[in-house]
């Protein structure tokens, strides 16, 4: 059974001539229990896709089925409730509310569900124990390290027992050790049968994933399943093939392995700008 089914989804920002295409007719099906890693350069549409799947955003065109229900035309409040019950978010910059204690932060989704205070604090406490933060319950976010904050954020994402966890660069702000801890936690959650979607810039982390999607210019250019614990073939080859990096590429912020990745449709590089304009025109005509 597919948890997420996306058919020809496009997302445009802006209107008319100023429109930019963030997603360009993307189709993808995600099964229950998959650990999906999404990679791609900035501006490739990863976050837009995540927001769409997380019901924070609507597709401009196309169909989005969540648990075999069409949610692309659903009303705002219904989406909020669906999001609350089915989706847990983990962000790069943690996004904890600074004025609440860790325990209250973790319990907040339950509060919006209408669970009584005692019950929800108990549940939050149990989840915090699961992520190894029992001794930090009454700390405030500013008193925790990045790794601890991200673990607390994972606890918040888990507290409603959602079927899908969306992690947008969960280790982007973390050091190596914290990254390891967080990834092992995500892996553990995955092994319990949850579906996890993770955006990452770090190719090594795809080792934890059961499937990798590579995006570029609003489209999926590469999709491969791999065993957990193994690097996907393309990633490994890319990492091995390119050992040197050119100074100008480094300045431009483009990693070498990204350049080694296959291009969409044409192997020749087209500039992002012309591509976008082209897509926008096509879209406005149809």
Partner 1 sequence: MNKEHLNMALSSINASRTRSFMTMFGVIISVSSVITIVGLGHGLRNQVSEQITKLGSNLIIVQPGKPNSSSAVSLQSLQSVASSPEGIITEQDLSAVAKTADINLLSPIATITGLPSFEEKTMTNTVIVGASESLPEIVDKKVKYGSFFSKEDLAKYYAVIGRGVAEELFNENIPIGKSFKIRNVEFIVQGVFEETPVTPLSPSVNFNNSIVIPYAKAKEISAGSMQISQILVTTKSADVTEKVSKTIQSTILKNHGGQEDFSVLRQEETLAISDGVFSQLTIFIGGVALISLIVGGIGIMNIMFATVSERTREIGIRKAIGATNKQIIDQFIIEAVTLSATGGIVGIILSLMIIIAIRSTTSLEPAIVLPVIGASFLVSVGVGIVSGILPAIKAARKDPIDSLRGI
Nearer to partner 1, 100 or 254 (CB): 100
- CB of 95 or CB of 283, closer to partner 1: 95
Q: Which regions of 157-274 does DSSP assign to beta strands (E)?
A: 164-168, 195-199, 211-216, 219-225
- 138 contacts partner 1 (rule: CB under 8 A): no
Contacting partner 1 (CB under 8 A), which of 7, 25, 31, 57?
A: 57
Please select the residue that binds partner 1; options are 35, 89, 208, 222, rule is CB under 8 A.
89
Q: At what angle do helices 117-130 and 146-158 cross, to 10 degrees?
A: 130
**Structure-token pair, residue 237:** 């080859």
Smallest gap from residue 281 Cβ to partner 1 (A)? 25
Distance CA 198, CA 90 (A): 9
DSSP, collapsed to helix, strand or coil, labels residue 233 as helix
- In whole angstroms, the minimum distance from the beta carbon of 114 to partner 1 comes to 6
- CB closer to partner 1, 100 vs 242: 100
Q: Per-residue x/- marks for partner 1, 68-87, CB under 8 A?
A: --------xx--xx-xxx--
C-alpha distances out from residue 84 to 37, 173, 201, 212, Å: 23, 25, 27, 26
Q: How far is the CB of 124 from partner 1 (least distance, A)?
A: 12
């976050």: which residue's tokens?
47
* Token pair listed for 259: 């350049």
Each residue 148-177 as x (binds partner 1 by CB under 8 A) or -, in order, gives --------x---x-----------------
Strand partners, 225: 211
How is residue 52 annotated by DSSP? H
Which positions lie near partner 1, rule CB under 8 A? 51, 54, 56-57, 76-77, 80-81, 83-85, 89, 91, 95-97, 99-100, 108-109, 111-114, 117, 156, 160
């Amino acid at each position: 059974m597919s948890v997420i089914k996306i058919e020809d989804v496009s997302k445009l920002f802006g209107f008319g001539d100023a429109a930019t295409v963030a997603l360009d007719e993307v189709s993808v099906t995600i099964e229950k229990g998959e650990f999906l890693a999404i990679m791609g350069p900035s501006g490739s549409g990863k976050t837009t896709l995540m927001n769409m799947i997380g019901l924070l955003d609507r597709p401009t065109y196309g169909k989005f089925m969540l648990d075999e229900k069409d949610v692309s035309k659903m009303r705002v409040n219904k989406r909020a409730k669906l999001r609350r019950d089915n989706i847990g978010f983990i962000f790069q910059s943690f996004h904890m509310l600074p004025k609440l204690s860790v325990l209250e932060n973790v319990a907040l989704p339950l509060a919006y569900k209408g669970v009584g205070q005692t019950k929800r604090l108990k549940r939050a406490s149990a989840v915090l124990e699961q992520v190894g933060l029992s001794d930090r319950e009454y700390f405030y976010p500013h008193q925790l390290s990045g790794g601890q904050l991200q673990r607390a954020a994972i606890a918040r994402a888990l507290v409603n027992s959602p079927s899908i966890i969306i992690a947008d660069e969960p280790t982007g702000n973390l050091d190596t050790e914290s990254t390891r801890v967080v990834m092992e936690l995500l892996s553990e959650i995955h092994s319990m049968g949850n579906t996890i979607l993770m955006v990452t810039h770090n190719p090594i982390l795809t080792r934890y994933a059961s499937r990798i999607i590579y995006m570029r210019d609003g489209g999926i250019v590469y999709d491969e399943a791999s065993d957990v614990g193994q690097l996907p073939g393309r990633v490994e080859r890319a990492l091995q093939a390119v050992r040197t990096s050119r100074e100008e590429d480094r300045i431009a912020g483009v990693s070498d392995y990204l350049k080694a990745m296959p291009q969409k449709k044409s192997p020749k590089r087209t500039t992002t700008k012309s591509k976008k304009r082209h897509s926008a025109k096509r879209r406005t005509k149809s």
